[in-house]
Amino acid sequence: MIALVVGWVWLGPLVHHFPALDVARAEVYQLKALAYWCVPALVMFTTRTRKRFIILLTTIVVSGTLEAILAVVSLSSQTEFSLLGTAFPPGQRAQGTFANSDHFANYMAMCMALALGLMLATAEARGRTLPGWRGKLLGLLNFLLSKRMLVRLAVIIMVIGLVLTRSRMGNASFFFGLFFFLYAVAWAWPHKRQAALWLGISLLVIDLVVIGQWVGLEHVVERLQNTELSMGAEQDEGPTGANQRAPGQEETVAERLAIGQDGFKLALTSPWVGHGPATFFTLFPQYKRPAIDIWVEHAHNDYAELASDLGLPALLTLGGAVCLSLLQWAQLMRSPSSGFVKGVVSGAGMAVVCLLMHAWVDFNLHIHANAMLFTVALALPFALSRFTRTRHAGKTAH
Protein backbone atom coordinates (compact mmCIF):
# COMPACT_ATOMS: atom_id res chain seq x y z
CA MET A 1 0.00 0.00 0.00
CA ILE A 2 2.88 2.34 0.70
CA ALA A 3 4.36 1.35 -2.68
CA LEU A 4 1.11 2.43 -4.38
CA VAL A 5 1.39 5.90 -2.86
CA VAL A 6 5.09 6.11 -3.75
CA GLY A 7 4.19 5.12 -7.30
CA TRP A 8 1.65 7.94 -7.47
CA VAL A 9 4.22 10.42 -6.14
CA TRP A 10 6.55 9.47 -9.00
CA LEU A 11 4.03 8.90 -11.82
CA GLY A 12 1.48 11.59 -10.91
CA PRO A 13 3.47 14.53 -12.37
CA LEU A 14 3.96 12.50 -15.58
CA VAL A 15 0.29 11.64 -16.18
CA HIS A 16 -1.41 14.70 -14.66
CA HIS A 17 -0.82 18.41 -15.08
CA PHE A 18 -0.24 20.14 -11.76
CA PRO A 19 -0.14 23.92 -12.43
CA ALA A 20 1.47 24.75 -9.07
CA LEU A 21 4.13 22.04 -9.25
CA ASP A 22 7.62 23.14 -8.21
CA VAL A 23 9.94 20.73 -10.03
CA ALA A 24 12.83 21.04 -7.54
CA ARG A 25 10.60 20.53 -4.49
CA ALA A 26 8.77 17.69 -6.24
CA GLU A 27 12.03 15.83 -6.92
CA VAL A 28 13.05 16.07 -3.27
CA TYR A 29 9.55 14.89 -2.30
CA GLN A 30 9.90 11.88 -4.63
CA LEU A 31 13.28 10.88 -3.21
CA LYS A 32 11.98 11.12 0.35
CA ALA A 33 8.90 9.04 -0.53
CA LEU A 34 11.12 6.36 -2.05
CA ALA A 35 13.28 6.29 1.08
CA TYR A 36 10.19 6.00 3.30
CA TRP A 37 9.22 2.89 1.35
CA CYS A 38 12.71 1.34 1.24
CA VAL A 39 13.27 1.63 5.01
CA PRO A 40 10.28 -0.52 6.11
CA ALA A 41 11.02 -2.94 3.28
CA LEU A 42 14.57 -3.39 4.60
CA VAL A 43 13.24 -3.93 8.12
CA MET A 44 10.72 -6.56 6.98
CA PHE A 45 13.10 -8.52 4.76
CA THR A 46 16.37 -8.35 6.68
CA THR A 47 15.37 -8.35 10.37
CA ARG A 48 14.70 -12.05 10.83
CA THR A 49 16.50 -13.07 14.02
CA ARG A 50 16.25 -12.10 17.65
CA LYS A 51 19.79 -10.70 17.53
CA ARG A 52 18.94 -8.40 14.62
CA PHE A 53 15.82 -7.09 16.33
CA ILE A 54 17.88 -6.28 19.42
CA ILE A 55 20.56 -4.56 17.31
CA LEU A 56 17.92 -2.49 15.50
CA LEU A 57 16.18 -1.37 18.71
CA THR A 58 19.46 -0.76 20.51
CA THR A 59 20.62 1.47 17.65
CA ILE A 60 17.41 3.50 17.92
CA VAL A 61 17.78 3.82 21.71
CA VAL A 62 21.41 4.92 21.38
CA SER A 63 20.41 7.45 18.73
CA GLY A 64 17.71 8.93 20.98
CA THR A 65 20.05 9.01 23.96
CA LEU A 66 22.80 10.83 22.06
CA GLU A 67 20.26 13.32 20.71
CA ALA A 68 18.97 13.95 24.23
CA ILE A 69 22.49 14.43 25.66
CA LEU A 70 23.38 16.84 22.86
CA ALA A 71 20.16 18.80 23.36
CA VAL A 72 20.56 19.02 27.15
CA VAL A 73 24.22 20.07 26.98
CA SER A 74 23.54 22.67 24.28
CA LEU A 75 20.58 24.13 26.19
CA SER A 76 22.22 24.17 29.62
CA SER A 77 25.50 25.65 28.40
CA GLN A 78 23.86 27.90 25.78
CA THR A 79 26.50 26.74 23.30
CA GLU A 80 26.04 26.82 19.56
CA PHE A 81 27.16 23.73 17.66
CA SER A 82 27.36 22.82 14.02
CA LEU A 83 26.66 19.55 12.21
CA LEU A 84 27.18 18.85 8.49
CA GLY A 85 27.56 22.55 7.83
CA THR A 86 24.34 23.50 9.65
CA ALA A 87 24.56 25.71 12.74
CA PHE A 88 22.25 25.05 15.69
CA PRO A 89 22.11 28.12 17.94
CA PRO A 90 20.92 27.57 21.52
CA GLY A 91 17.41 28.64 22.36
CA GLN A 92 15.01 28.50 25.28
CA ARG A 93 13.89 24.95 24.50
CA ALA A 94 15.81 21.74 23.79
CA GLN A 95 15.89 20.77 20.13
CA GLY A 96 19.02 18.69 19.50
CA THR A 97 19.79 18.46 15.78
CA PHE A 98 16.18 19.26 14.88
CA ALA A 99 15.07 22.64 13.57
CA ASN A 100 12.01 22.56 15.82
CA SER A 101 11.65 21.52 19.47
CA ASP A 102 8.27 19.87 18.83
CA HIS A 103 9.79 17.55 16.22
CA PHE A 104 12.60 16.69 18.62
CA ALA A 105 9.97 15.92 21.27
CA ASN A 106 8.19 13.49 18.96
CA TYR A 107 11.47 11.76 18.15
CA MET A 108 12.14 11.38 21.88
CA ALA A 109 8.66 9.94 22.45
CA MET A 110 9.05 7.32 19.71
CA CYS A 111 12.57 6.36 20.83
CA MET A 112 11.35 5.94 24.41
CA ALA A 113 8.42 3.82 23.21
CA LEU A 114 10.75 1.40 21.44
CA ALA A 115 13.08 1.46 24.46
CA LEU A 116 10.22 0.37 26.72
CA GLY A 117 9.41 -2.40 24.28
CA LEU A 118 13.06 -3.50 24.33
CA MET A 119 13.05 -3.61 28.13
CA LEU A 120 10.00 -5.88 28.22
CA ALA A 121 11.28 -8.00 25.35
CA THR A 122 14.61 -8.75 27.01
CA ALA A 123 13.15 -9.43 30.47
CA GLU A 124 13.90 -13.06 31.09
CA ALA A 125 11.18 -15.21 32.57
CA ARG A 126 12.01 -15.84 36.20
CA GLY A 127 11.89 -19.31 37.59
CA ARG A 128 11.48 -20.07 41.26
CA THR A 129 12.19 -17.08 43.46
CA LEU A 130 12.68 -16.66 47.16
CA PRO A 131 9.49 -15.78 49.05
CA GLY A 132 8.89 -12.46 50.79
CA TRP A 133 11.16 -9.46 50.82
CA ARG A 134 14.25 -11.51 50.01
CA GLY A 135 12.81 -12.51 46.65
CA LYS A 136 11.84 -8.92 45.84
CA LEU A 137 15.26 -7.62 46.86
CA LEU A 138 16.96 -10.28 44.74
CA GLY A 139 14.78 -9.37 41.77
CA LEU A 140 15.66 -5.69 42.18
CA LEU A 141 19.38 -6.47 42.36
CA ASN A 142 19.14 -8.66 39.26
CA PHE A 143 17.50 -5.79 37.38
CA LEU A 144 20.10 -3.25 38.56
CA LEU A 145 22.90 -5.51 37.32
CA SER A 146 21.24 -6.41 34.00
CA LYS A 147 21.58 -4.78 30.58
CA ARG A 148 18.00 -3.56 30.92
CA MET A 149 19.23 -1.07 33.50
CA LEU A 150 21.27 0.63 30.78
CA VAL A 151 18.11 0.99 28.70
CA ARG A 152 16.29 2.34 31.76
CA LEU A 153 19.01 4.98 32.23
CA ALA A 154 18.70 5.87 28.54
CA VAL A 155 14.95 6.38 29.03
CA ILE A 156 15.66 8.73 31.97
CA ILE A 157 18.01 10.80 29.79
CA MET A 158 15.42 10.96 26.99
CA VAL A 159 12.70 11.97 29.48
CA ILE A 160 14.90 14.91 30.50
CA GLY A 161 15.27 15.84 26.84
CA LEU A 162 11.52 15.56 26.29
CA VAL A 163 10.67 17.72 29.29
CA LEU A 164 13.18 20.38 28.25
CA THR A 165 11.48 20.75 24.87
CA ARG A 166 8.46 22.17 26.75
CA SER A 167 6.40 20.77 23.89
CA ARG A 168 2.75 20.56 24.85
CA MET A 169 1.63 17.94 22.32
CA GLY A 170 4.99 16.15 22.47
CA ASN A 171 4.56 15.50 26.20
CA ALA A 172 0.81 14.87 25.85
CA SER A 173 1.33 12.31 23.07
CA PHE A 174 3.94 10.52 25.18
CA PHE A 175 1.55 10.35 28.15
CA PHE A 176 -1.24 9.05 25.91
CA GLY A 177 1.10 6.55 24.26
CA LEU A 178 2.34 5.36 27.67
CA PHE A 179 -1.21 4.69 28.87
CA PHE A 180 -1.88 2.87 25.57
CA PHE A 181 1.27 0.80 26.15
CA LEU A 182 0.27 -0.13 29.71
CA TYR A 183 -3.31 -0.96 28.72
CA ALA A 184 -2.13 -3.10 25.79
CA VAL A 185 0.22 -5.11 27.99
CA ALA A 186 -2.45 -5.56 30.66
CA TRP A 187 -4.99 -6.60 28.00
CA ALA A 188 -2.89 -9.09 26.07
CA TRP A 189 -0.08 -10.12 28.41
CA PRO A 190 -1.56 -10.92 31.84
CA HIS A 191 1.60 -12.26 33.50
CA LYS A 192 3.45 -9.04 32.61
CA ARG A 193 0.81 -6.70 34.07
CA GLN A 194 2.70 -6.16 37.31
CA ALA A 195 6.03 -5.49 35.53
CA ALA A 196 4.36 -3.05 33.12
CA LEU A 197 2.54 -1.35 36.00
CA TRP A 198 5.76 -0.81 37.96
CA LEU A 199 7.48 0.41 34.81
CA GLY A 200 4.68 2.93 34.21
CA ILE A 201 4.70 4.08 37.84
CA SER A 202 8.47 4.58 37.76
CA LEU A 203 8.16 6.64 34.57
CA LEU A 204 5.41 8.81 36.00
CA VAL A 205 6.78 9.23 39.53
CA ILE A 206 10.56 9.05 39.20
CA ASP A 207 11.11 10.42 35.70
CA LEU A 208 8.31 12.89 35.09
CA VAL A 209 7.66 14.11 38.64
CA VAL A 210 10.99 13.95 40.48
CA ILE A 211 13.41 14.48 37.58
CA GLY A 212 10.86 16.54 35.67
CA GLN A 213 10.52 19.00 38.55
CA TRP A 214 14.28 19.27 38.70
CA VAL A 215 14.73 20.07 34.99
CA GLY A 216 11.67 22.27 34.55
CA LEU A 217 8.43 20.31 34.17
CA GLU A 218 6.60 23.37 35.52
CA HIS A 219 7.42 25.19 32.26
CA VAL A 220 5.44 22.58 30.31
CA VAL A 221 2.54 22.95 32.75
CA GLU A 222 2.78 26.72 32.43
CA ARG A 223 2.57 26.51 28.63
CA LEU A 224 -0.50 24.30 28.94
CA GLN A 225 -2.12 26.71 31.40
CA ASN A 226 -1.46 29.61 29.04
CA THR A 227 -3.15 27.77 26.20
CA GLU A 228 -6.81 28.60 25.62
CA LEU A 229 -9.17 26.13 23.97
CA SER A 230 -10.65 28.64 21.56
CA MET A 231 -10.03 32.10 20.23
CA GLY A 232 -11.03 34.16 23.23
CA ALA A 233 -12.53 37.61 23.49
CA GLU A 234 -9.46 38.83 25.33
CA GLN A 235 -7.61 38.91 22.03
CA ASP A 236 -7.80 42.38 20.56
CA GLU A 237 -7.84 43.19 16.90
CA GLY A 238 -4.56 44.73 15.87
CA PRO A 239 -4.11 47.36 13.18
CA THR A 240 -3.60 44.64 10.55
CA GLY A 241 -6.79 42.83 11.48
CA ALA A 242 -4.94 39.87 12.96
CA ASN A 243 -5.54 38.61 16.47
CA GLN A 244 -2.95 40.06 18.85
CA ARG A 245 -1.90 37.68 21.59
CA ALA A 246 -1.42 38.90 25.13
CA PRO A 247 2.19 38.82 26.43
CA GLY A 248 3.10 35.32 27.61
CA GLN A 249 -0.09 33.79 26.23
CA GLU A 250 0.38 30.72 24.07
CA GLU A 251 -1.50 30.27 20.81
CA THR A 252 -4.94 28.76 21.36
CA VAL A 253 -5.91 25.25 20.34
CA ALA A 254 -8.17 26.76 17.69
CA GLU A 255 -5.27 28.78 16.28
CA ARG A 256 -3.03 25.70 16.23
CA LEU A 257 -5.70 23.73 14.38
CA ALA A 258 -6.66 26.56 12.02
CA ILE A 259 -3.81 25.87 9.58
CA GLY A 260 -4.82 22.23 9.33
CA GLN A 261 -8.48 23.13 8.85
CA ASP A 262 -7.62 25.52 6.02
CA GLY A 263 -5.33 22.83 4.63
CA PHE A 264 -8.28 20.45 4.37
CA LYS A 265 -10.21 23.17 2.52
CA LEU A 266 -7.33 23.34 0.06
CA ALA A 267 -7.36 19.55 -0.28
CA LEU A 268 -11.08 19.51 -1.10
CA THR A 269 -10.48 21.71 -4.15
CA SER A 270 -8.74 18.71 -5.79
CA PRO A 271 -9.76 15.72 -3.67
CA TRP A 272 -9.00 12.86 -6.08
CA VAL A 273 -5.46 13.51 -7.33
CA GLY A 274 -4.32 16.37 -5.09
CA HIS A 275 -2.42 19.40 -6.26
CA GLY A 276 0.90 17.59 -6.72
CA PRO A 277 3.90 16.73 -4.52
CA ALA A 278 5.13 19.60 -2.33
CA THR A 279 2.56 22.10 -3.62
CA PHE A 280 1.05 22.96 -0.24
CA PHE A 281 3.67 25.66 0.38
CA THR A 282 2.75 27.40 -2.89
CA LEU A 283 -1.05 27.18 -2.74
CA PHE A 284 -1.84 27.60 0.95
CA PRO A 285 -1.56 31.43 1.05
CA GLN A 286 -4.62 31.60 -1.23
CA TYR A 287 -6.76 29.59 1.20
CA LYS A 288 -5.60 30.60 4.67
CA ARG A 289 -7.82 32.78 6.82
CA PRO A 290 -6.74 36.40 7.52
CA ALA A 291 -6.10 35.63 11.20
CA ILE A 292 -3.16 33.42 10.20
CA ASP A 293 -0.48 36.06 9.75
CA ILE A 294 2.58 33.79 9.96
CA TRP A 295 4.78 32.25 7.29
CA VAL A 296 3.59 28.68 6.68
CA GLU A 297 5.74 26.12 4.89
CA HIS A 298 3.91 23.02 6.12
CA ALA A 299 0.43 22.46 7.48
CA HIS A 300 0.47 21.87 11.21
CA ASN A 301 -1.48 18.74 10.35
CA ASP A 302 0.14 15.90 8.42
CA TYR A 303 -3.21 14.52 7.29
CA ALA A 304 -4.25 17.82 5.72
CA GLU A 305 -0.96 18.29 3.88
CA LEU A 306 -0.90 14.73 2.54
CA ALA A 307 -4.47 15.11 1.31
CA SER A 308 -3.63 18.43 -0.33
CA ASP A 309 -0.49 17.17 -2.06
CA LEU A 310 -1.52 13.64 -3.06
CA GLY A 311 -5.32 13.51 -2.78
CA LEU A 312 -7.73 11.81 -0.42
CA PRO A 313 -7.34 8.31 -2.02
CA ALA A 314 -3.60 8.41 -1.30
CA LEU A 315 -4.24 9.53 2.29
CA LEU A 316 -6.76 6.69 2.76
CA THR A 317 -4.27 4.21 1.27
CA LEU A 318 -1.62 5.28 3.78
CA GLY A 319 -4.25 5.06 6.50
CA GLY A 320 -5.00 1.53 5.34
CA ALA A 321 -1.31 0.62 5.69
CA VAL A 322 -1.33 1.96 9.26
CA CYS A 323 -4.53 0.03 10.04
CA LEU A 324 -3.01 -3.20 8.67
CA SER A 325 0.05 -2.66 10.85
CA LEU A 326 -2.11 -2.10 13.94
CA LEU A 327 -4.18 -5.18 13.03
CA GLN A 328 -1.00 -7.25 12.81
CA TRP A 329 0.04 -5.70 16.14
CA ALA A 330 -3.24 -6.82 17.76
CA GLN A 331 -2.90 -10.35 16.37
CA LEU A 332 0.62 -10.71 17.73
CA MET A 333 -0.39 -9.34 21.12
CA ARG A 334 -3.30 -11.78 21.43
CA SER A 335 -1.49 -14.80 19.97
CA PRO A 336 0.62 -17.18 22.08
CA SER A 337 3.78 -15.45 20.89
CA SER A 338 6.99 -15.35 22.87
CA GLY A 339 7.62 -12.64 25.43
CA PHE A 340 10.27 -11.20 23.16
CA VAL A 341 7.80 -10.71 20.28
CA LYS A 342 5.13 -9.17 22.49
CA GLY A 343 7.64 -6.82 24.11
CA VAL A 344 8.96 -5.46 20.82
CA VAL A 345 5.54 -5.15 19.21
CA SER A 346 4.09 -3.34 22.23
CA GLY A 347 6.80 -0.68 21.95
CA ALA A 348 6.21 -0.37 18.20
CA GLY A 349 2.49 0.17 18.78
CA MET A 350 3.20 2.91 21.32
CA ALA A 351 5.55 4.66 18.86
CA VAL A 352 2.87 4.59 16.13
CA VAL A 353 0.23 6.00 18.49
CA CYS A 354 2.56 8.82 19.64
CA LEU A 355 3.13 10.04 16.09
CA LEU A 356 -0.48 9.61 14.95
CA MET A 357 -1.64 11.79 17.84
CA HIS A 358 1.07 14.43 17.32
CA ALA A 359 0.35 14.52 13.57
CA TRP A 360 -2.90 16.41 14.19
CA VAL A 361 -1.05 19.55 15.24
CA ASP A 362 2.36 19.21 13.59
CA PHE A 363 4.15 17.90 10.50
CA ASN A 364 6.41 15.16 11.82
CA LEU A 365 5.81 13.02 8.72
CA HIS A 366 7.69 15.69 6.76
CA ILE A 367 10.69 15.44 9.09
CA HIS A 368 13.08 12.79 7.77
CA ALA A 369 14.14 11.19 11.06
CA ASN A 370 10.61 11.05 12.47
CA ALA A 371 9.03 9.75 9.26
CA MET A 372 11.66 7.01 8.88
CA LEU A 373 11.35 5.94 12.52
CA PHE A 374 7.57 5.84 12.09
CA THR A 375 7.90 3.52 9.07
CA VAL A 376 10.23 1.29 11.09
CA ALA A 377 7.57 1.06 13.83
CA LEU A 378 4.94 0.23 11.18
CA ALA A 379 7.13 -2.52 9.71
CA LEU A 380 8.06 -4.19 13.01
CA PRO A 381 4.74 -6.09 13.46
CA PHE A 382 5.11 -7.62 9.97
CA ALA A 383 8.78 -8.47 10.56
CA LEU A 384 7.89 -10.03 13.91
CA SER A 385 5.09 -12.03 12.29
CA ARG A 386 7.59 -13.45 9.78
CA PHE A 387 10.01 -14.11 12.67
CA THR A 388 7.28 -15.97 14.58
CA ARG A 389 6.31 -18.10 11.56
CA THR A 390 9.96 -18.95 10.87
CA ARG A 391 10.55 -20.05 14.47
CA HIS A 392 7.35 -22.10 14.46
CA ALA A 393 8.31 -23.78 11.17
CA GLY A 394 11.77 -24.51 12.52
CA LYS A 395 10.39 -26.11 15.69
CA THR A 396 7.90 -28.16 13.65
CA ALA A 397 10.65 -29.42 11.32
CA HIS A 398 12.85 -30.25 14.29
pLDDT tens profile 232-281: 433 444 433 345 555 555 566 666 788 889 999 999 999 999 999 999 99
Determine the 3-state secondary structure of 342 from DSSP: helix
pLDDT over 90 at 367, yes or no:
yes
pTM of the model: 0.89
Other CB atoms closer than 10 Å to residue 309's CB: what's the count?
29
Q: Is the separation of the CB atoms in 369 and 107 below 8 Å? A: yes
Residue-wise burial string across 359-385, b where 16 or more C-beta atoms lie within 10 A, e elsewhere: bbbbbbbbbebbbbbbbbbbbbbbbbb
- Better pLDDT: 373 or 238: 373
pLDDT band at 291 (very low <50, low <70, confident <90, very high): confident
pLDDT band at 92 (very low <50, low <70, confident <90, very high): confident
**Cα→Cα distances 394→187, 296, 351, Å:** 29, 54, 30
Mean pLDDT to the nearest integer, 365-380: 96
Angle at Cα 23 formed by Cα 17 and Cα 28, nearest 5°? Answer: 120
Residue 81 DSSP one-character state: E
The residues, ordered by sequence, that sit 6+ positions from 68 with a Cβ below 8 Å of its Cβ are: 94, 96, 108, 157, 158, 160, 161, 162
Mean pLDDT to the nearest integer, 66-70: 95
Instruction: Report d(CA 197, CA 301) in Å as an integer.
Output: 33
The residues, ordered by sequence, that sit 6+ positions from 334 with a Cβ below 8 Å of its Cβ are: 188
**Cα→Cα distances 50→43, 311, 365, 388, Å:** 13, 39, 29, 10
Q: Which segments of the chain are extended strands (E)?
A: 81-83, 86-88, 236-237, 243-244
Q: Indicate the range of 40-54, 122-136, 182-196, 383-397 predicted with least confidence.
A: 122-136
Mean pLDDT to the nearest integer, 136-143: 67
The overall average pLDDT reported for the chain is: 84
The residues, ordered by sequence, that sit 6+ positions from 290 with a Cβ below 8 Å of its Cβ are: 241, 242
User: Which pLDDT score is estimated for 294?
Assistant: 74
User: Which pLDDT score is estimated for 241?
Assistant: 39
Give the dihedral sign, CA 220/221/227/233: negative
Q: Indicate the range of 4-8, 165-169, 208-212, 233-237 predicted with least confidence.
A: 233-237
Phi/psi-derived region of residue 146, left when phi > 0, alpha when psi is between -120 and 50, beta in every other case: beta
Mean pLDDT to the nearest integer, 62-78: 93
| 68 alpha-carbon distance from chain centroid | 15
- Better pLDDT: 324 or 201: 324
pLDDT over 80 at 352, yes or no:
yes
Q: Which amino acid is at 93?
A: R
User: Which pLDDT score is estimated for 224?
Assistant: 59
pLDDT over 70 at 212, yes or no:
no
pLDDT over 60 at 34, yes or no:
yes
Chain segment 148-204, per-residue pLDDT in tens: 889 989 998 999 899 888 888 898 899 899 999 988 888 888 777 777 777 777 777
